[in-house]
Chains A and B, each alone.
Chain A
Amino acid sequence: MQIIAYLIPVSLFLGGLGLGAFFWALRSHQFEDPEGDSRRILNDDWDEHPKP
């Protein structure tokens, strides 16, 4: 059962990492234009501009 002492913190940490990534995406306006973003993938231009 020693393994629990590692696995629980590890799973929480990994989950927290995912949550953090979601927060970052939300705060940097990445959910404002879902339809446009799905089309921009097909765009040949290199788009280095940050989101407005």
Chain B
Amino acid sequence: MSIWEPVWLTLRLATVTTLCLLVIATPTAWWLASSRSRWRPLVEAVTALPLVLPPTVLGFYLLVLLSPTSFVGSAWLSITGGTLTFSFTGLVIASIVYSLPFAVQPLHTAFRGVGQGLREAAATLGAGPLDRFRSIVLPLSRQGFLAAAVLSFAHTLGEFGVVLMVGGNIPGETRVIAVEIYTAVETLDYRTAHILSAGLLLVSLTVLTIVYRVVPGQSKGR
């Protein structure tokens, strides 16, 4: 049992999840920052839910929702021939849900900070909505994007409860660092547990230190 296998898998999972989250969270956060809809508080609450729900709740619903007997799971099965649970793809879906607030909230804060004035000025100068987003909003929210990416990545690295429930502990496919640590502790293999835990601790500390240096005032998930 190589110690590197769960490490590579976890890094891959965190990278793919972060990329997917940036694609999903950017329009969501933009809508939250600019919409005046009465649904806004509800949508904002939904994006923050994974912060307060225990991973077991997320894991249980995902197990039911992604199962081959459900609509989503069976559709996936007929298209790809594989199950969503116990697969890397399933873990990516689970991690997107699990780390969603960590991507949405920094972006939401950044977009709100850009303010209406600059955008309106650009509009009067004839810039279209996409142009306004690209040339004003994006550069001004750079720190928000960095924080969203790094926090989602770090949060996914340590994911445990959800993975334990839908992953099935398959080496190289769903056996991530946190699950490997858990098994090592349960079997009194403290050496492996120490190596992996210390590694995760150091990486998380380094990553968060970088975030707080580059983005002052960016507290966890806000």
A interacts with B? no
Residues of B within 8 A of A (CB): none
